[in-house]
Every structure is written in C-alpha cells, then in structure tokens.
Amino acid sequence: MSAAGEATAPGSLRIDRLLVYLRFARTRSAAQALIDAHALRRNRRHVLRGAEQVRIGDVLTLALGGSVRVIEVLALPERRLSPAAALSHYREVDAGTLDPTGQNTIAASPCTAGPPPDASEDTW
C-alpha cells in the first residue's frame, strides 16, 4: 500500500489522476464526471471507476466536447505537468483517420462474383 493508503501496482496510476496530470481534466472530480458520463475508454472498454489502473502502453479514448481523442500512454507522470511536458507522456493514435461525426462509412461492396460454378443457367 502506498503512503496515501491506496493499493497500486508497480508501474501503474489511477486513471482519474492520470487525466489530471496530463491536463485532460482540471480536477479529479472533473475526471470522475467524464467517467460517469461514459466518455472514457481504456483499451476499448468503458472505464467504470476512477480507481482503475493505467499502465504504459494502454490506449485511452476520450470524448471531449465535440471531438474524440485516442491516445497511447507512453510514460506515467508523478505530478501535474505543464502542457508541453504533458505532451511527451502520450501520443495521438489515428488522429487523422477518425471520422469527426463519429460515424463509420460503410459502403456496399460491388458484386464481382457470377453464379456459383456448379449451377447451370436452367436453374437460375
């Protein structure tokens, strides 16, 4: 157990603290509001509690305002950082390929196949 009385695994950090340290939220209660609004995923799963642990290599998906940000955690900070220093602890993933409306375009694939090889024209 750490000095604050919270059990943490080595090389991990509470997700609500990470959001504050990397400046995605101003306070832990603001980070908890993101979690309660289901606006945060870790490794494609909704985050349900602020005490969930984040490790290096985890991918976070944040719905902030009208945009979606997907980041990969590169390092775990020990305290709240300046904006420039915070940028060195994560990287944007697929920033250019995300659809800003949140919709995936699904188009019908062209039919290139003819009738099955064993079928004769009499059966069609």
> How far are the Cα atoms of 30, 73, 103, 107 from residue 27, in angstroms, in the given order?
5, 19, 31, 42
pLDDT at 122: 59
Residue 5: band (very low, low, confident or very high) from pLDDT cuts 50, 70, 90: very low
Average pLDDT, the chain: 80
Contact at 8 Å (CB) between 1 and 9? no
12-98 under CATH 3.10.290.10, yes or no: yes
Q: What is the mean pLDDT of residues 51-68?
A: 92
pLDDT at 95: 53
- What amino acid is encoded at 44 in this protein? R
Residue 72: band (very low, low, confident or very high) from pLDDT cuts 50, 70, 90: very high
Residue 93: band (very low, low, confident or very high) from pLDDT cuts 50, 70, 90: confident
Percent pLDDT > 90 in the chain is 61
Residue 101: band (very low, low, confident or very high) from pLDDT cuts 50, 70, 90: low
pLDDT at 3: 45
CA–CA separation, 83 vs 60, rounded Å? 18
Give the CA angle between residues 52, 55, 58 to the nearest 5°: 95
